[in-house]
Amino acid sequence: MNDSHYCPHTPEEIAEMLSTIGVASVEELFAPIPTELRAKTFNLPAGMSEFETYGRMQELAGDNTPGMVNFIGGGFYDHIIPAVVDHLSGRAEFYTAYTPYQPECSQGTLQALFEYQTAICRLTGLDVSNASLYDGGTACAEAAMMALRVTGRNKILIDGSVSPFSRQVVKTYLFNLDVEIVEIDPLDGLLNRAELASLLDDSVAALLVQNPNFFGSIEDFTAVAGQVHGVGALLIGSVYPIALGILKTPGETGIDIAVGDGQSLGNPLSFGGPSFGFIAAKKTFIRNMPGRIVGETVDKNGTRGYVLTLQAREQHIKRHKATSNICSNQGLCALRGLIFLSAVGKEGLAELARLNRDKAEYAKARLAAIPGVTVLQVAPTFNEFTVSLPKDAAEVVAELLKAGIAAGVPLGQYYLGSENCLVVTVTEKRSKKEIDKFAEALQSELIAIHF
């Protein structure tokens, strides 16, 4: 056996290693394996990424049952999760951790949450973050209540392009409060800025927008921020964290409070949960933030340490002065988000975002080429876009499920008159082969309609 064919070390280095472990040759290491069972060559194929290798292993071990190819988004996304996220978050000291009431025995959890807050601030371009929320929908509601406290006003404006799920959560949270919620119907899938201008007055506490919005469109809200601030209100922005790899940060566009769902940051779909919500804001609003905030300090010996600095939860202060009752179950999911962001890094997040955008652009072109299909693009998009079909989108989705394709989110149940519209999502996990299969299956289904 020629050692140099499969080992990058020099003969001298190999000899030294063999001597250290007490064997005379590499061949001796393989002695327990019968000759007829040994590999005849180490001619391995080209290297693959962790995700590609895992996929290939699943393919080889599969039972020929086709899996469902997912083009559904709408707030929950099928992204790659690096193995390090499961490995580190599954360690017992994190996996079984509870609220760190006693800092002297909770430094690991507290430091992780402090680093998480730092990551969210850098991601959003804002000054402060808390130690996470439950999910994206409740984060929108918490931000709305935060704006009510800050301004002392009682009206919330919501762009109708915000996720219908988040809008419903906001309405549910504020249902028993003396608060008026006004929804602004979208205009061509975007914020109706003329209607917004007519609604802005000194009774408005905040405007809630989303970027990219539920239709997939991207808007620059810098000018809107100026309008909102002009009447003393706040601008709340719900954002897609992966998209922030290439989009302006909320801080750069004048948003006062940024929220979002952290599921796409290292958390699996898991039939809809659990997940975590994030919130970040300008420093001037820190005492109105919900939940807990972890701070860095030093002990009497000057050693660095971490503590819960602001705890405006109803368990900690007078109930009528509490900002929320956010608890600790989302901490593990937030930790996964931190590990994910740390693993991919700044450049990796930008590359991941570009992959999402580029694959979605390819899918757009493939679907737009199908007779009867129109891509409704009134603004740039990230990895979601809306198409118009020649028949009810829900019926098309039901048929494509039989072919193993989850085609997207039909809009008819959320927006009147949009029964033929479908929101399609393409993440970095979707291959060219899968996108082509989707386009071919959709074309076949639409041809079947004609005949």
pLDDT tens column, 329-375: 578 999 999 999 999 999 999 999 999 999 999 999 999 999 999 99
Using N-to-C axis directions, what is the helix angle for 331-368 and 107-124, rounded to 10°? 30
Under the banding of pLDDT at 50, 70 and 90, the label for residue 8 is low
Q: Is the pLDDT of residue 314 over 60?
A: no
User: Can you tell me whether residue 49 is helix, strand or coil?
Assistant: coil
Task: Give the integer Cα–Cα distance in Å for 247 and 364.
Answer: 20
Same domain, 146 and 227: yes
66 and 178 part of one domain: no
Q: Which domain holds residue 7?
A: 3-44
Q: Which residues of 231-260 are buried (b: 16+ CB within 10 A; e: fewer)?
A: eebbbbbbbbbbbbbbbebbbebbbbbbbb
How far apart are alpha carbons 381 and 246 in whole angstroms? 12
Same-domain status, 165 and 264 = yes
CA terminus-to-terminus distance, the chain: 65
Task: Give the sign of the dihedral formed by CA 14, CA 20, CA 25, CA 27.
Answer: negative
User: What three-state secondary structure class fits 117?
Assistant: helix
Q: What is the CATH number of the domain that holds 301?
A: 3.40.640.10
- Average of pLDDT values for 57-78? 82
pLDDT band at 4 (very low <50, low <70, confident <90, very high): very low
pLDDT at 108 exceeding the cut of 80: yes
State whether 310 and 405 are in the same domain.
no
Looking at residue 373, its pLDDT comes to: 97
**333 and 441, same domain (yes or no):** no
Residue 39 is predicted with a pLDDT of: 76
Q: What is the pLDDT of residues 200-212, one digit of tens each?
A: 999 999 999 999 9
Q: Is the pLDDT of residue 2 over 70?
A: no
Same domain, 407 and 421: yes
pLDDT surpasses 70 at 220: yes
Residue whose token pair is 């082969």: 433
Whether residues 243 and 120 share a domain: the answer is yes
User: Are 324 and 377 within one domain?
Assistant: no
- Let me know whether 57 and 141 are in one domain: no
Average pLDDT, integer, range 386-396: 97
Query: Is the distance from CB of 120 to CB of 130 less than 8 angstroms?
Result: no
Whether the CB-CB separation of 231 and 202 falls below 8 Å is answered with: yes
Of 310, 342, 374, the last residue of a domain is 342
User: Per DSSP, which regions of 212-350 are E strands?
Assistant: 234-239, 257-261, 277-281, 292-298, 304-311
- End of a domain among 292, 317, 342? 342
Do residue 441 and residue 382 come from a single domain?
yes
Strand, coil or helix: 239: strand
How many other C-beta atoms are found inside a 10 Å radius of the C-beta of residue 408? 26
Residue 424 contacts residue 387 (beta carbons within 8 Å): yes
Instruction: Tell me, yes or no, whether 263 and 353 share the same domain.
Output: no
**Which of these three, 287, 312, 342, is where a domain ends?**
342
| Averaged pLDDT, 93-100 | 78
* CATH (domain of 68): 3.90.1150.10
Residue 317 sits in the same domain as residue 388: no
Q: Which residues of 70-87 are buried (b: 16+ CB within 10 A; e: fewer)?
A: bbbbbbbbbbbbbeebee
Tokens of 264: 């796409």
> Structurally, how many domains does the chain consist of?
3
Query: Where residue 315 falls among pLDDT bands split at 50, 70, 90?
Result: low
